Amino acid sequence: MSSKKVFFLILIFFFQFSSFAQKIEEESRVSEDVVPEKALTFVSELGLKNKTKWYKERTSGRDSYECKFKANSKFYSVEFDTLGVIEDIEVLVKKRKLTQEELRSLESGILKEFEKFKWVKIQRQFKGTNSELNKLITDTNETIPHNFEVELEGKSSEDGWKMYELLLSPNGEILMKREIQLRPTDNLNY
């Protein structure tokens, strides 16, 4: 085989596997003692009545802290960097709670990337100032622009069925795509 053919085969192989990032996530429960003060202050100012759970998360070599709780009949996840600066708030959404327009847009964007797919988890992802994000939780009428973070099983002719995390705009444009790498223990059934 000529060196040009070998070079092009290597190049094709490289691009096929580097066209999207891979998500390797480790999450472990932590006590409030190790959480940055700024993050604790933000959460305490929410005046939550329910218990909060803190986690340290490592995603693809990057550390962050996450606070999970339920408020206003919704499940929230608030992510902070290692200094306690808020990064985003994610709110779990059931597929049946999406508007027809939202569902159509998301499905349209996803089907541009996959032949078939199965929903696993849908979240609205909000970014903004501390006061905007605080109001999002404390004022149920507050609306700020958001994206959708979706976990799904997607099937493509090249890769078959795999788990993915997608970040989509409200109009269904895929902003980010990462394959989720499952640890061997993630798919054990008891």
Please indicate, yes or no, if residue 48 is contained in any of the structural domains.
Answer: yes
Read off the pLDDT band of 25 (50, 70, 90): confident
Read off the pLDDT band of 2 (50, 70, 90): low
Please indicate, yes or no, if residue 29 is contained in any of the structural domains.
Answer: yes
Please indicate, yes or no, if residue 190 is contained in any of the structural domains.
Answer: no
Please indicate, yes or no, if residue 92 is contained in any of the structural domains.
Answer: yes
Please indicate, yes or no, if residue 13 is contained in any of the structural domains.
Answer: no
Select the more confidently predicted residue: 59 or 130.
130
Please indicate, yes or no, if residue 3 is contained in any of the structural domains.
Answer: no
**What would the pLDDT profile of 27-41 be if each residue is shown by its tens digit?**
899 999 999 999 999
The predicted pLDDT at position 16 comes to 43
Which pTM does this prediction carry?
Answer: 0.80
CATH of the domain at 55: 3.10.450.360
Please indicate, yes or no, if residue 10 is contained in any of the structural domains.
Answer: no
Structural domains of the chain, count: 1
Name 98's Cβ contacts closer than 8 Å, sequence gap at least 6.
106, 122
Q: Give me the domain span that covers residue 48.
A: 20-183
Name 166's Cβ contacts closer than 8 Å, sequence gap at least 6.
110, 113, 148, 149, 150, 151, 152, 174, 176, 177, 178
Read off the pLDDT band of 18 (50, 70, 90): very low
